[in-house]
Amino acid sequence: MVREGIYVDATFGRGGHTRRLLEMLGSGSRVVAVDRDPEAIRAGEFLAAEDSRLQVLHGKFSELDRLLEGLQISQVQGVLMDLGASSPQLDDARRGFSFRHDAPLDMRMDTSTGQSAAEWLNDASEQEISRILREYGEERYARRIAAAIVAARPVRTTTELAALVSRAQPRSTPGKHDATRAFQAIRMQVNQELPELHAGLLAAFGVLRPGGRLAVISFHSLEDRVVKRFFRDRSRPPQLPRRLPVRDAANQATARIVAGPLQPGESEVRANPRARSALLRVLEKAA
């Protein structure tokens, strides 16, 4: 069955999901693809040149309503958010996301604006660095690592940071590089990933038409917690005091959960090992 409608891929990356959407949609449909990374947008423009149903926009998904307004779109049938960093961001040494490659410590998804990881680390207080490592990395040696970073400033490269983090930890976690949690935390801070996610979910839900669906793929428990809570809050009737004389409509949920949490199957993980921790949840706005 060919579907029609306006759909948003709020995290274009290199367009795997956008291509699949375009395959499934009919000639009267539109796909709006958004990404905050200028390199993703450059890749998207090639695809848009081949398919007139696609429009590619540079920006943050927290600004989705404003971005769509610019295209005179007020409501859409579906929004897809595939969170986190893309494989090209993680694998391109120059982007400074990975402790596996020696590079300037950047980690910005949007390289056209904001502070790089090195700028943030060399500027923030020890307490702030420690809090971010604890909250976003669930790093139990956060205080020791923050103290080591502050003592060694300026920190400029991924390998300098990875070595500092390793030395500050008294014990390693089997199977995990010592710097995994710290790198995740600093990336989340530099890109303001959790505040973006809160605002992005609100913006996406706001532009859905009645009966429209929001699908979100998260990659770790901090993200999934935010998504799960957001979906749960909208799928429950508001908690009003009993015996309050309210109309039925005011007492109804604004959405229902239609799927999730769904994990990838074995063959998908074999083909794409980075998918192993992915969780998909889908919410449908009340009709």
Ligand X SMILES: C[S@@+](CC[C@H](N)C(=O)[O-])C[C@H]1O[C@@H](n2cnc3c(N)ncnc32)[C@H](O)[C@@H]1O
Question: Residue numbers of the site for ligand X (CB under 6 A)?
Answer: 11, 13-17, 34-37, 40, 60-62, 82, 84, 86, 109, 196, 200
Of 171, 229, 200, 199, give the one whose Cα is nearest residue 79.
200
Q: Are strands 76-82 and 6-9 parallel, antiparallel or unpaired?
A: parallel
For ligand X, which is the closer residue by CB, 11 or 169? Answer: 11
Both structure tokens of 169:
């930890």
Least distance in Å: CB of 191 to ligand X? 6
Q: Which 8-state DSSP code applies to residue 95?
A: G
Of 153, 148, 92, 164, give the one whose Cα is nearest residue 118.
153
For ligand X, which is the closer residue by CB, 43 or 149? Answer: 43
Residue 247 CB burial class (10 angstroms; 0-12, 13-18, ≥19): exposed
Quote the CA–CA distance of 175 and 166 in Å, as a whole number. 14
Least distance in Å: CB of 189 to ligand X? 13
For ligand X, which is the closer residue by CB, 14 or 209? Answer: 14
Kind and range of the H or E element at 57?
strand 54-58
Quote the CA–CA distance of 253 and 233 in Å, as a whole number. 8
Least distance in Å: CB of 80 to ligand X? 8
For ligand X, which is the closer residue by CB, 28 or 51? Answer: 51
Least distance in Å: CB of 35 to ligand X? 5
Within 10 angstroms of residue 226's Cβ, the number of other Cβ atoms is 20
Least distance in Å: CB of 196 to ligand X? 4
Least distance in Å: CB of 136 to ligand X? 14
Quote the CA–CA distance of 205 and 134 in Å, as a whole number. 30
For ligand X, which is the closer residue by CB, 60 or 281? Answer: 60
- β-bridge partners, 283: 214, 257
For ligand X, which is the closer residue by CB, 169 or 218? Answer: 218
